[in-house]
């Protein structure tokens, strides 16, 4: 945990709330597990994303990746933090999303928790040690 966690607690709370706010947009007819993500760029812009499932489960794209491709497609490539909320409690990013985000921001701050009163903070590197990048 970084030492500036307390200092930024309010900012991270707001990012988490942005992630919660988009939960209704999730397309999760198979798992009924809705996930929302809010990605903060270094410029201070926030991009939100939701999970989008597919009849061929392998086609599913998680909320974190949705937020990331959204930001990239708008020309933003430098990311500071991502918050993840779900309809079912604390949601750690899956390995696919860790891999995807690692490409752009190994030092990304990851904010998640059961609710805004119980947020935890990690770095992406902590969640994907010895990450794979060409």
Q: Supply 121's token pair.
A: 């903070």
Among 52, 80, 87, 106, which residue sits at the site for a second copy (rule: CB under 8 A)?
Answer: 52
For 83-126, what is the HEC assignment?
EEEECCCCCCCCHHHHHHHHCCCCCCEEEEECCHHHEEEEEHHH
| By CB under 8 A, residue 1 contacts a second copy | no
Q: Is 126 labeled as catalytic in the residue annotation? A: no
Point out the catalytic residue in the list 42, 43, 53, 64.
64
Q: Which is nearer to a second copy, 116 or 127 (CB)?
A: 127
List of residues 6+ apart from 3 with CB closer than 8 A: none
Q: Which residues bind a second copy (CB under 8 A)?
A: 22, 24-25, 27, 30-31, 33, 48-50, 52-63, 65-70, 72-75, 77, 91-100, 102-103, 122, 126-134
């Amino acid at each position: 945990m970084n030492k500036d966690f307390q200092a930024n607690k309010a900012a991270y709370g707001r990012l988490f709330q942005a992630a919660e706010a988009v939960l209704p947009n999730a397309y999760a007819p198979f798992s009924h597990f809705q996930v929302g993500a809010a990605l903060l760029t270094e410029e201070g812009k926030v991009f939100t994303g939701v999970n989008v499932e597919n009849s061929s489960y392998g086609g599913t794209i998680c909320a974190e990746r949705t937020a990331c491709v959204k930001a990239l497609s708008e020309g933003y490539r430098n990311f500071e933090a991502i918050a993840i909320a779900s309809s079912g409690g604390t949601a750690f990013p899956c390995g696919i999303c860790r891999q995807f985000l690692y490409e752009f921001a190994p030092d990304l701050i990851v904010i998640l928790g059961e609710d805004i009163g119980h947020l935890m903070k990690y770095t992406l590197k902590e969640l994907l040690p010895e990450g794979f990048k060409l």
